[in-house]
Structure 1
Amino acid sequence: MLDKILQWDREAFVYLNSLGIEQYDFFWSTVTKFPPWIPLFALFLSLYFIKFPKRNALLMITTLLVMVFFVMTLTDLTKHVVARIRPNNNEEINTLIRILRSPTGFSFFSGHASSSFSITTFVVLCLRKHFKWVYLFYLWPILFSLSRIYVGVHFPIDILTGALVGIVSAWLFYNLYQLLILPYLKSSHHV
């Protein structure tokens, strides 16, 4: 069963990667990096301070940062335990695919997917009652994650698993915030 899933994963990756068009290489090579997204992170932070008292906003951002540390640590540990070779380093398929980046680390699961989906989901959970359009932020993790297939460094299962880990982690940390921090903030207002 696992062999069939991995075979499907390789075939899906080769197919999706082959859809790449040279004219879009610059776009996908840019989208796959963190720095171009810094204005989006600045928007996330400013929305917290616009919609919440300063103390609440700072504690939400602190929770977000702890979550990102947790997600990145979990991602790195999993990569070393599973030790799946990236497509760009896989000799069975690397001559069949387009490779725009050549990282040497392991593939499963995608840190781009886990980090971007966790950040976006946490932001959406916090701000959904204040801004109906907040779900548009999911364009970032979708583009960011898909870019990893385009540039030749992650299989679809790496992306899907990373996204799931990110979403579940965000839900967990949001609920911990609601359970442990929010009551403290409410009680400190009455003191």
Structure 2
Amino acid sequence: MTIRLQELDESLFLLLNNLTSDISNHFWALVTKPLFWSPLFVLFFVLFFVTFKRKTALIYSAGIITSFWGVYAITYIVKVIVERPRPLFNEQLIQQVNVLYEPTGFSFFSGHASTSTAAAIFFYMVFRTKSQWAKLVFLFPLIFATSRIFVGVHYPSDILVGGTVGLIFGSICYTVFQKLNEKYTEDKLNS
């Protein structure tokens, strides 16, 4: 069963990875870079401070930072323990992989998927009642994480598991920091 899942993962990877063209290669090579998304994170913090009072904005800012860096640490630890080689280092696939980026490290699970999903879910949970546009934040992890298949460095299962871990960790962080914010608001009302 495990071998069959691995074969399915490799086949799906090759199918998706080889769908690219010269034009789309430029797009995927650009959107896979974390620096490309920096303005989005600046926007997150600006929206926190424009929408909420200073203390609440600080709490939410700390929450999104915690969700991002906390899941990053978990991802790193799992990668070191599992040591799954990236597709571009798979001897059976190397001749078929469209490689646009050559990172070091291991494949399982995707840090791009886990961190972007954690940040997106945290942001969404904060703003879901404030704006109907909040759900657009999920385009970020969708594009950012998917790019890792198209640049040749992650299997679909790496993306799926990374996204799932990010969803869980981001939701937990939101719950914790929302309780902190409620406690702060309650304490302020009682003083």
TM-score bucket of the superposed structures, by smaller chain: over 0.9
Instruction: Answer yes or no: is the 8 Å Cα contact 1:89–1:104 preserved in 2.
Output: no
Separation (CA, whole Å) in 2 of partners of 1:25 and 1:189: 54
Q: Deviations over 1:143-168 (max 9, x none)?
A: 00111000000000000000000011
Q: Tell me what 1:21 maps to.
A: 21
Q: Tell me what 1:144 maps to.
A: 144
Q: Percent identity?
A: 37
**Alignment TM-score, normalising by the size of structure 2:** 0.96
Q: Tell me what 1:123 maps to.
A: 123
Unaligned runs of 5+ in 2: none
Q: Tell me what 1:91 maps to.
A: 91
What secondary structure is seen at the aligned counterpart in 1 of 2:5?
A: helix
**Alignment TM-score, normalising by the size of structure 1:** 0.96
Instruction: Answer yes or no: is the 8 Å Cα contact 2:67–2:122 preserved in 1.
Output: no
Q: Tell me what 1:36 maps to.
A: 36
What secondary structure is seen at the aligned counterpart in 2 of 1:104?
A: coil
Letter in 2 for 1:2: T
Per-residue deviation, 1:38 = 1.5
Q: Name whichever of 109-118 and 19-28 sits farther off.
A: 19-28
Unaligned runs of 5+ in 1: none
Q: Tell me what 1:113 maps to.
A: 113
Letter in 1 for 2:105: G
What secondary structure is seen at the aligned counterpart in 2 of 1:109?
A: coil
Per-residue deviation, 1:190 = 3.2
1:25-104 matched pairs, under 5 angstroms: 25-104=25-104
Separation (CA, whole Å) in 2 of partners of 1:148 and 1:154: 5
Separation (CA, whole Å) in 1 of partners of 2:17 and 2:54: 45
What secondary structure is seen at the aligned counterpart in 2 of 1:149?
A: helix
Separation (CA, whole Å) in 1 of partners of 2:51 and 2:20: 40
Separation (CA, whole Å) in 1 of partners of 2:18 and 2:133: 33
Aligned pairs, how many?
A: 191
Separation (CA, whole Å) in 2 of partners of 1:66 and 1:38: 17
| C-alpha RMSD of matched pairs (Å) | 1.1
Separation (CA, whole Å) in 1 of partners of 2:34 and 2:102: 16
Per-residue deviation, 1:179 = 2.7
Separation (CA, whole Å) in 2 of partners of 1:36 and 1:102: 18
Per-residue deviation, 1:132 = 0.8
1:172-191 matched pairs, under 5 angstroms: 172-191=172-191
